[in-house]
Chains A and B, each alone.
Chain A
Amino acid sequence: MLVLQGIVDGILAGALYALMGSGLTLVFGVMEVINFAQGIIVVLGAYFTYTFASHLGVDPFVTLLLTIPIMFTLGYAVYMLLLRPIKRDRVIMSLLVMYATAVVIEGVLDLIFGGTLVEVTASYGTSSVHLGSLDFPNVYLLAFGLSAVLLAALYWILYHTKFGRSLRATTQNLTAAKLVGINVDHVSALTLGIGVGLGAAGGMLFGMTTPFNAASSYDLISRLLVIVILGGFGSVWGAGVAAIVMLVIEDVVAVVWSPVWGQTIFYLVLALVLMFRPQGLFGRRLARAQ
C-alpha cells in the first residue's frame, strides 16, 4: 500500500513539475534558448501569488487572472529587449542573458522579501481526500487538475490555431518559416511570454505546496532541466511524461527504501535512457536545419 501511495504522490507532484517544465521546453523548442531563469520565474510567480493573495485576500487561483498576464508581459519584454538584439552566438549568449536575468530577479526578490521562507495558504490547502488508506492532498489534486487544463490548452494552441502553426513551423525550420512570411520575432516573443506565463501558474502551485524563498530557484532549475533532458528538449509532452517518471521513481524509492537513493536511482534511469536515446524520450534526433 505504501508503494501505491508513493505512486500517487509521484503522479500528483509530477503533474506540477510538468507544468513548471513545460515553459522551459517550449521556449527551447521554438528559440533554442535554454531559459536558465525558469526556476526563478516560477518563484517569482509564487511571490506574485503570495503578495496578491495576502494583500487582496483572494483565493490563490483567482490571482492567476493577474499573475499570468503580468508574467506573460514580462516574458514578451525580456525577448524583445534582451534576446532579440542578439545576432551572434545566439545559444551561448542567450544562456548568459537568461542567467543574468535570473540573478537580477533573485536579487530584487531578496531585497523585497528577504530570505524568510513563506508559503501561499488557502483554507482547503491543508486537507486531503482519503480513499481507503490512500491520501490525495487537495492542493496536489488541484495542482494536477490545473496542470492538465493548462497543458491541454497549450496543446490546443499548438495544434489548432494559426499561431500554433507558426510556432511549430518556427520550431521545425527557422529559415523556412521566415521565407513563408512568419514574423519569427513576434512568434518567439509570444512563446517566451507563454513560457513565463506558465511559470506563473506553476509558481502559484509551487508556493501552495512548498515553503519558498528566492533561493528555492536553484533546486528548481536543476530539477526542471533534468526533466526536460529526459523528456527531450522541445517536447512539451516529453516534459510531462519525464516529470511523472522522475517523481514516481523518486517517491516510490523514498517511501520503500530511502530518499537518498530516490534521486540516485532516478539519475541511473536517466543515464540509461540517454545511452539509448541521447535526444531524450520524445526529443528530435537531428538538430534543426537553419
Chain B
Amino acid sequence: MKSRQLIGRLWATGPRRRGAVLATAAAVAAMAAPALGAGTAAAHVVRRDALHGVVTIGASVSLSGDFSATGKTTEQGYQAFQTWANEHGGILGHKVVFKFLSDGSSPTQVTTDYQKLITVTHVNFLVGPYSTLLTKPASEVANRYHMALVEGIGGGPSVFEAGLHNVFDVSASAVYQGISFAKWVAKVYKPQPVAYAAITTPFNEPIVTGIKNYLDSKGFTTAVYKVYPLETADFTPIASAIAATHAKIVAIGSQPPDGEGLIKDFVSSGYNPTVLFEVSGPDQGTGFVKAVGKQNTTGVMWPNTWYPGANEGVVNTEMEKILEKEIHVKSVSLLSANMAEAFSAAQTLREAVDHIKSLTNAKLIAYMHSSKAKFTSVQGPVCFKSTGQNACATPFVFQWQHSKQLQVLPSTAAGSSKVMNPKPKWGQSKY
C-alpha cells in the first residue's frame, strides 16, 4: 500500500517526473524479473498473471488414451485443491488458477504440453501428470526451464535415476510401496510359491520386483512371474497361468483396467488366492467397485499413502467434502487415491511457496531440498531426499473390507486395522 501511495505522489508531480517514474519502473521490473520468474529465457519475464493477483499452476492430464480413467481423477484432485486453496487465501494471497492440457496418455504429447505451459501459457508453477511414464518426460522439460515439478503420481525409480534436481514426489516412492506387504507376508506365511504378474510400466513393475526380491531372500519361491505389455486387452491367459499354479499368495503390478480384468478372470475360473495384492486398480474407489462388483472387493490389498476417510486432519476432510460435492460420489469411501495424490502435490507446493514468500522457482527448488523443509499433506508428512523422493512417507497397505477401504499395514502404524486374512472366497463376503 505504501509503495502504491509513493508512486501516486510521484505521478502527481508532473510530466518530467512521470517519465522518470516510468523509466525507473521499467528498470526495476527488468531487474526483478529473474527473481519473479523461473530463471530461464522464457521465465525471465514477469509473470503477468501473478501481478494481477493470480498464481497459475500448469498440469498435463490424460483425458484420453490408456490413462484416461486415472487421468480424469488426477485432474479432479487438482481442481479440488484449486477450490480448497481459494477458500483459504490462495497462494501468497493470490487466487490459484490451474491451466490444464490433455496429453492423450502420450509421453510425446506430455513433453509438448509442459513446453507449452512454460513458454506460451507462462504458468508460475508446475505439478505432475499421471504415471511415471509421463512424469519422466515432464520432469525433463521442467528441468530444462529450471522449474520445479511437484508430483504425487510418478514415483517409479526411473524418474529419480535421471538425477534431476527439480522433481519432488510427495507420495511414497515405488521401490518402497510393496515393502510393508512383503514384510507382512514373510511374517505371517511360511515360505511357499508366490505368483507374480506385472505390467511393463516404470512404476508398477519395480514394486512387484521389490516384493519378489524381499520374499526370495526369505525363502519364498516364484510359482510364476508374468510380465505383460500395456496394450494387453485379453487377461485370460495371464489369469490361467496364475490359476494353474494354485499359489495362495498373488502379487500383481497392475493398473486399471488389468487389475479389474484379472480379478474377473479369477472369479470366473473359481481360483481363490488367500492373499491378493494389486498395485493399482483397487485404489480407484467407485471405478474398482463398478468393474469387479462389490461382492468381490473384500480382501483385496494395495499399496498407497492415502485412503478415503484417512485420519489426516482437517484439510483431508475438507478435500473429501469438496470432491464429494464436485464429482457426486455416493460415499467418500469411493474416492480415488489419485485425487489425494494430486491434491497433496499442489498442497505441498502451496506450503513451500507460502514459506519462501516468492514465486521464484529457483528459490522453491532450493527450499524444498533443504533439510528444514517439512510439509504436511493430506497423505501425511512430506520431506525430500536429495533425489526428490519423499523420505517421510510411510508405505501403507490398504485392504477392502466389507465395501470399505482400510489401512492395514504397517500393523504398528496409527490407524491400522487388522488384516483380513485369509481373503474370503469371491462373492462370499458380506458387503
List residues of A whose CB falls within 8 A of some B CB.
1-2, 5-6, 9-10, 13, 106, 110, 114-119, 121, 125-128, 130, 135, 137-140, 209-216, 218-220, 222-223, 247, 250-252, 254-255, 258-260, 262-263
Contacts and interface: CB of A to CB of B under 8 A. Distances in A.
A121 B290 CA distance: 9
23 contacts: A110-B63, A110-B68, A115-B63, A116-B286, A117-B257, A117-B284, A117-B291, A119-B292, A127-B270, A135-B240, A137-B236, A211-B291, A213-B257, A214-B68, A215-B68, A218-B65, A220-B233, A247-B234, A251-B234, A254-B238, A255-B241, A259-B227, A263-B229
Contact of B226 (A106, A115, A127, A259): A259
B183 to A, nearest CB: 29
Given A118-B291, A220-B233, 20 more contacts: A6-B237, A9-B236, A13-B236, A115-B69, A115-B71, A116-B69, A116-B72, A126-B267, A126-B426, A135-B243, A135-B268, A140-B236, A213-B69, A214-B64, A215-B66, A252-B237, A254-B228, A255-B241, A260-B200, A263-B229
A211 B260 contact: yes
Given A110-B68, A116-B286, A259-B227, A127 B268 contact: yes
Interface residues of B, number: 47
B232 interface: yes
Q: Which of A5, A116, A254 has the most CB of B within 10 A?
A: A116
- List the 8 closest A-B pairs by CB distance, nearest first: A259-B228, A254-B237, A115-B72, A215-B68, A211-B257, A211-B291, A251-B237, A115-B68
A9 B291 contact: no
B108 interface: no
A260 B64 contact: no
Contacts of A214: 64, 68
Contact of A119 (B200, B227, B233, B260): B260
B230 to A, nearest CB: 9
Given A2-B240, A119-B290, A137 B232 contact: no
A13 B234 contact: yes
B244 interface: yes
Nearest to B200: A260
Q: Which of A110, A114, A251 has the most CB of B within 10 A?
A: A114
Contacts of B291: 117-119, 211
B119 interface: no
Contacts of B232: 259
A106 B64 contact: yes
A251 B244 contact: no
A209 B238 CA distance: 14
Interface in B93-131: 105
Contacts of A116: 69, 72, 284, 286-287, 290
B231 interface: yes
A44 B63 CA distance: 18
Interface string B151-180: 000000000000000000000000000000
B258 to A, nearest CB: 9
B268 A126 contact: yes
Q: Which of A5, A9, A254 has the most CB of B within 10 A?
A: A254
Nearest to B233: A219
Given A250-B237, A251-B236, A126 B229 contact: no
B231 to A, nearest CB: 5
A259 B293 contact: no
Contacts of A119: 260, 264, 290-292
Interface string B68-99: 11111100000000000000000000000000
A115 B72 CA distance: 6
Given A139-B268, A250-B234, A212 B293 contact: no
Nearest to B232: A259
B308 interface: no
B356 to A, nearest CB: 36
B380 interface: no
Nearest to B257: A211
Contacts of A13: 234, 236
A290 B402 CA distance: 65
A224 to B, nearest CB: 11
Contacts of A127: 268, 270
B294 to A, nearest CB: 11
B273 interface: no
Interface in B386-417: none
B241 A254 contact: yes
Q: Which of A6, A115, A137, A139 has the most CB of B within 10 A?
A: A115
B293 A126 contact: yes
Nearest to A126: B267
A247 B233 CA distance: 11
Interface string B26-66: 00000000000000000000000000000000000001111
B261 interface: yes
A259 B229 contact: yes
B427 A126 contact: yes
Contacts of B228: 254, 258-260
A140 B269 CA distance: 12
B303 interface: no
Q: Which of B63, B231, B234, B287 has the most CB of A within 10 A?
A: B234
Nearest to B66: A215
A102 to B, nearest CB: 11
A116 B72 CA distance: 8
B240 A255 contact: yes
A126 B291 CA distance: 12
Contacts of A247: 234
Contact of B69 (A10, A117, A262): A117
Contacts of B105: 215
